[in-house]
Chains A and B, each alone.
Chain A
Amino acid sequence: MIYLDNSATTQPFSEVLQTFQDASMQYFGNPSSLHSAGMNAEQLLTKARTATAKLFSIDPKEVVYTSGGTEGNNLAIKGTALEHVSRGRHLITSQVEHPSVLEAFEQLENAGFEVTYLPVDASGRVSPKEVQHSLRKDTTLVSIMHVNNEIGTVQPVEEIADILQHVPHTYFHVDHVQGVGKVSLDFAHPGIDLCTVSGHKVHAVKGTGFLYVRQGVSLSPLFHGGKQEQSLRSGTENVPGIAALAKALRMSLERSDELDRLEGLKRRLMFAFQEMPGAVVNTPDDASAPHIFNVAFPGVKPEVVIQSLAKKGIHVSTKSACASKLQQASPVLLALGRDVETATSAIRVSLCFDTTEEEIDQLLKALHECLPEFLEVMGAKNA
């Protein structure tokens, strides 16, 4: 079994599962309780928070635990827009964001906000200059992802942060879900106010994540109740999940010396398809993440390729898992300027630290076996 859909979700590290298991049994108390069972759980929570903050050189108070990336993005975007509505109703994002960002903005549009969706170039990149030009007096938030989940493009978020650092009334949110552990980001950059992290993309357990909220940034919470997480996120803390997240983040970041190897594997895929007739490589040559590779075979149904690979025990995906049931063109690929045929025929291969060269070879071999047939069928049709 070769699992190459790590941008959808990853297998938790076994050490992480052990932490989760141990914490579940030994630290089961409610951290808000005043007795020792509660205090032990609270201590573990504090330990995890401190360790996590240290990994990203931020303050423990700046870590707001959530149920994952979707909640982190929704909290950052709606929380900022609603909290600062008196200062303005204009928001900026890009056309290639994750659905949890785009739909949060749509919801705000319905509530009377005005949203600028910035276009991207053929590599999927937002221009920092365009961000600057779109800024208005009433712009309260800019939200740009770090690494695109479908094609792996790395956005110039630090350059955008350099600009926004000098615009005090505009907050900057970065969806870092696909970047964590793969493409480094300076959380402490004074221009970055909010940053979303999800656990299950970095070998932690599902239902975990955090939103980095720079000190001094105020947000309107999505959930009200017991005032946990400095009132920004009420609800009994998922202590075992949070401890497991701290472990998974540490283990992932410790393996950063393997990123060059991953980049090499991705390059191998790039080279293999760049010269292949009928294939359109969507992942850009420069400034793309080391673990995501996207290629389209215009005219070939991606489901057919996926099923054919699955029969050989190789698992890849069409596009973002969160939208994979829709048989539509990828909005990301359309935003790149690809035609509808290309945008409906892409497959995504996403790697993890344990992906081997042999696995990539097997994928290539399998594709070389099945693709000519599919392409031929297409060719015959077109002829």
Chain B
Amino acid sequence: MASIYADHAATTPLDPSVAEVMYEEMISNPGNPSSIHSFGRSARKTVDEARRQAASSIGAVPENIIFTSGGTEADNLAVAGFAKANEARGRHIITTKIEHHAVLHPAEALEALGFDVDYIDVDESGIVSVKDIEAALREDTILVTVMHGNNETGALQPIAEIGALLQEHQAAFHTDAVQTFGLLDLNVDELKVDMLTASAHKIYGPKGAGFLYVRNHIQLEPALRGGEQERRRRAGTENVAQLAGVSKALKLADTHKNERYEMLADRSAQFVQALMEKDITFQLNGPQHERLPHIVNVSFQGVSVEPLLVNLDLAGIAVSSGSACTAGSVEPSHVLKAMYGDDKRIYSSVRFSFGRDTTAEEIDQIAESLERVLQRMAKKA
């Protein structure tokens, strides 16, 4: 039985040409970029090239890119690293209830250290209101962190508007752009952000690689100390081959960005259409319009999600009940809770996330399998 992968928001397959580039790099370029011999210099070139690519992908300059081991590390650096370096100016932080755990958990850890964190509500479509952010701002607010595209519902947040609001305030502005990076055109000046998180394994690049964009004047307390790497903001031997892979993945993402966006939006629309045609009862979780093209989050009333996922998996279809990063737990999603409270729908939600290789036939197959599985489960109940 063919298997269909519809969990691209959790992770994407490595592009074979990215794997190729990394392999080549490891074979031909074993040096440590900090070494002054030719092996080291050659490795340094690879790192520099990746930095240029990363910078240009978000309209930044190379000096403002800090490579990390991925999105989680970058988010932690932006939230905890920023707060600790700037607490003299205040201890108030604003975020939302729908952030990824890589933002929420460091925020909670900061609370334990005496910081004051406001977790702003979202509306039923999963979008935070700029007015609510404005109302929460205080003189001692030092950081506002709001994700760009939500990983569970695909809801796009009004980042540029919040950025504009903060222009006249001392607070720095961070956005976790892991889900939008490589998919939408991102520009740090248009978004008016001071820090931005990106990850490679969501865009057909390698796991264990990501970066934090940090505007010039921003001070951070590094999480990793040791060498001179990343302008002393992130010590550790640079992951050279992986960065070669990042360069390649960025180039690929950039080349096909617009057509891929259209294609994914088509697939999502086709999927929702198919569910309606099959008379499957469902509720769409998330906004109609301000959304990412590849994520469709739906609740199937009265259906328990765990057996549904298992049955879909047996039918060869890989989807998830929420963010994969909650390490295998099937607890109701904190994002849906923020949107709908304790409504039943949060216990029966499934996230479908499509990728560049998802075909129209696969969408039909997913809808058909879903119909069969739901019918079978209804009979048993």
Contacts and interface: CB of A to CB of B under 8 A. Distances in A.
B13 interface: yes
Contacts, number: 266
Interface stretch (B54-62, B254-262, B268-276, B325-333): B325-333
A323 B76 CA distance: 26
B34 A38 contact: no
Interface stretch (B36-44, B181-189, B364-372): B36-44
Interface stretch (B67-75, B88-96, B165-173): B67-75
Interface residues of A, number: 72
Contacts of A208: 208
B27 interface: yes
Given A9-B237, A69-B236, A317-B35, A237 B228 contact: no
B207 A239 contact: yes
Contacts of A36: 3, 313, 318
B240 A206 contact: yes
B69 A235 contact: yes
A100 interface: yes
A321 B32 contact: yes
Given A70-B236, A103-B235, A317-B37, A226 B206 contact: no
A70 B237 CA distance: 8
Contacts of B225: 70, 74, 99-100, 103-104, 106-107
B37 A71 contact: no
Contact of A222 (B19, B30, B40, B224): B224
A334 interface: no
A224 B235 contact: no
B238 interface: yes
A223 to B, nearest CB: 4
A200 B226 CA distance: 16
A5 interface: yes
Interface stretch (A10-18, A122-130, A164-172, A264-272): A10-18
Contacts of B34: 8, 321-325
B72 A234 contact: yes
Interface in A3-59: 3, 5, 8-12, 14, 17, 20-21, 24-25, 28-30, 32-38, 42
A67 B10 contact: no
B237 A74 contact: no
A35 B320 contact: yes
A309 to B, nearest CB: 8
B248 interface: no
A225 B223 contact: no
B310 to A, nearest CB: 8
A357 to B, nearest CB: 22
Contacts of B36: 303, 306, 317-318, 324-325
A241 interface: yes
B16 interface: yes
- 5 pairs of A and B residues whose beta carbons are closest in the complex: A100-B226, A226-B325, A322-B227, A224-B105, A238-B208
